Chains A and B, each alone.
Chain A
Amino acid sequence: QVQLQESGPGLVKPSETLSLTCTVSGGSIISSDYYWGWIRQPPGKGLEWVGTIYYSGSTYYHPSLNGRLAMSVDTSRNQFSLKLSSVSAADTAVYFCARTRVYPTTAGNNYFFDTWGQGTLVTVSS
């Protein structure tokens, strides 16, 4: 049974870069069936998709974060990572990593997160 675990600093200063890693266990990150994604949730608020990466390195980012966001994958360590630059208080959130299923159907694109990490709180503050 695949499990995901986020890791990284819990406190980042404004204007600096937020870096998080998600370690996948119980399954390989190299899979034609899955993508790997990040979702965040500001305290007391709803969910926001951040971005998704395939094991080959193909990336898909939320348009509002384009230019600040970079995702990467390390297949040798079975990990994928997120770097968000020039952060502000608005980037304070619980960040979740998740395994993603993406495939077309006759009913449209099927896209969902079927396994989630527990989440890690990142606070942006001086």
Chain B
Amino acid sequence: QSVLTQPPSTSGTPGQRVTISCSGSSSNIKINTVTWYQQLPGTAPKLLIYSTNQRPSGVPDRFSGSKSGTSASLAISGLQSEDEADYYCAAWDDRLDGLYVFGTGTKVTVL
């Protein structure tokens, strides 16, 4: 099962700001960088944020990432209808020989 915990869902109206939390531990988020992926319905995930707070080319600056201690957050400001998707956090976990762990996922609904 996932070791990074996210809220199952969140929602907002167009233009609003929403945040998604990602709770981890001292073996993953606390000591490694965090990645966020966006998965639109029926498609492959897309890299949204890497290195905790960096946006790949082409990702709007409405999306921002941060972390503090064993938790991370993704903020979407100026919510748009096309932002309706599933969002996953992820990080390398240093337990055992190491493994990559994903969050449980959060469904964002634009009302």
Contacts and interface: CB of A to CB of B under 8 A. Distances in A.
B23 to A, nearest CB: 15
A117 B44 CA distance: 7
Given A46-B102, A116-B45, A107 B88 contact: no
A120 to B, nearest CB: 10
B104 to A, nearest CB: 6
A48 B101 CA distance: 7
Contact of A109 (B33, B56, B88, B96): B33
Contacts of A52: 100
Contacts of B52: 107
Main SS at interface, chain A: strand
Interface in B40-82: 43-47, 50-52, 56
B97 A63 contact: yes
Contacts of B45: 39, 47, 96, 113, 116
Interface string A47-77: 1110010000000101100000000000000
Q: Point out which of B92, B94, B96, B101 has the most chain A C-beta atoms below 10 A from its C-beta.
A: B92
Contacts of B100: 37, 49, 52, 62, 111
Given A46-B102, A108-B32, 20 more contacts: A37-B100, A46-B88, A46-B105, A47-B37, A49-B99, A49-B102, A63-B97, A96-B45, A105-B33, A107-B33, A109-B32, A111-B33, A111-B35, A112-B35, A112-B47, A112-B90, A113-B35, A113-B37, A114-B50, A116-B44
Sorted from nearest, which 10 A-B pairs have the closest CB atoms? A108-B32, A49-B100, A112-B35, A116-B44, A111-B92, A47-B102, A109-B92, A46-B105, A112-B50, A109-B32
